[in-house]
Structure 1
């Protein structure tokens, strides 16, 4: 059942049992107006109200109440660490792009957060690679100057990547400056 609000879940369980709102009100001693407001997602019911409704519908409270999975946040933090940290596996040519790209392709459908962060990482790593190649090509017209520019680009990439690993794990946000938006955010 993919109904994600308490109101949708309650309505689903009520119609599954073939009850009207009035019948559910009589069976649960919860007012009909309260049931209507819950089903329209106008209010968040008290736990006792959900218990009365679940008992009247003869279902588990978990069938109505959305209970957050405490492990889900830990799993999301691990994926954030992986998505933002895989560019450090760039010892394989273009690995800094390919590893995050594969992760983004794999996880983008699971969660909008993974989609947004994956696009940000891929955009930044593609941009960084282009800047790096340009700095290497500047060796021919400006020998010696490109050494400092190339070093600055590598250092910039490391600092921004580490900062985004930490902010994505702690606050769920990321910011990659100077990233060319190859993959647009939807």
Structure 2
């Protein structure tokens, strides 16, 4: 449960009913200090406390708690997975590693800030790695020995970082891309 959402709902319902924090405390046997801390978002109340508050405010528990929709989380994970895995197409056709996640990011960034943040990270990484690949190609042609090693190392490094981020997104909707922030960062 997110403390701030519950805090806002509790405060809204309490004020809507015209109760002070003290009056609500009297009606629930929950201390004024606890109600203050809940409304500031400092603590997450126990379910028993939520039930007492809902009963005193004469509202359903659902009106105070917003339960996460597992279907919505599943859809988010699928979009994030698509966003993070679509650059693999770039190994088959040049620049699709940038264009595919760019298209998804443009399409989804307004829907959820999570898509915006992840999309920027993916695109920043892909642009960075494309530039490094171009430098590695130049090094291949101009620097003996080291140029070849640099050129050969770029693709496996890129693939490993991308794969690690796909796994991180599936497990915890987190990412880590070492990159230059061409699109900036948010979040």
> Shorter-chain TM-score: which interval?
0.7 to 0.9
Match of residue 63 from structure 1: 63
| 2:38 corresponds to 1:38 | yes
> Which residues of structure 2 form unaligned runs of 5+?
none
CA apart distance, 1:39: 1.7
For 1:114-159, what per-residue CA distance to the aligned partner results, in whole angstroms no more than 9, with x for missing partners? 3332222111111222233334455654699877654432232222
Match of residue 25 from structure 1: 25
* Distance change >3 Å, CA 160–CA 37, structure 1 → 2: closer
Comparing 115-124 with 148-157, greater Cα deviation is found at: 148-157
CA apart distance, 1:165: 0.9
Structure with the higher helix share, 1 or 2: 2
Comparing 8-17 with 87-96, greater Cα deviation is found at: 87-96
- 1:131-150 aligned at under 5 Å gives the runs 131-137=132-138, 141=142, 149-150=150-151
Comparing 132-141 with 65-74, greater Cα deviation is found at: 132-141
User: How many pairs were matched up?
Assistant: 183
> In angstroms, what is the RMSD of aligned CA positions?
3.1
> Which residues of structure 1 form unaligned runs of 5+?
none
Q: TM-score, normalised by structure 2?
A: 0.76
Comparing 51-60 with 108-117, greater Cα deviation is found at: 108-117
| 2:80 corresponds to 1:80 | yes
For 1:140-183, what per-residue CA distance to the aligned partner results, in whole angstroms no more than 9, with x for missing partners? 54699877654432232222211221122224332334x22212
Q: Are the counterparts in 2 of residues 4 and 66 from structure 1 also a CA contact under 8 Å?
A: no
Q: Are the counterparts in 1 of residues 139 and 151 from structure 2 also a CA contact under 8 Å?
A: no
Q: TM-score, normalised by structure 1?
A: 0.77
CA apart distance, 1:96: 0.9
Q: Are the counterparts in 1 of residues 4 and 41 from structure 2 also a CA contact under 8 Å?
A: no
Task: Give the 3-state SS of the residue equivalent to 1:5 in structure 2.
Answer: helix
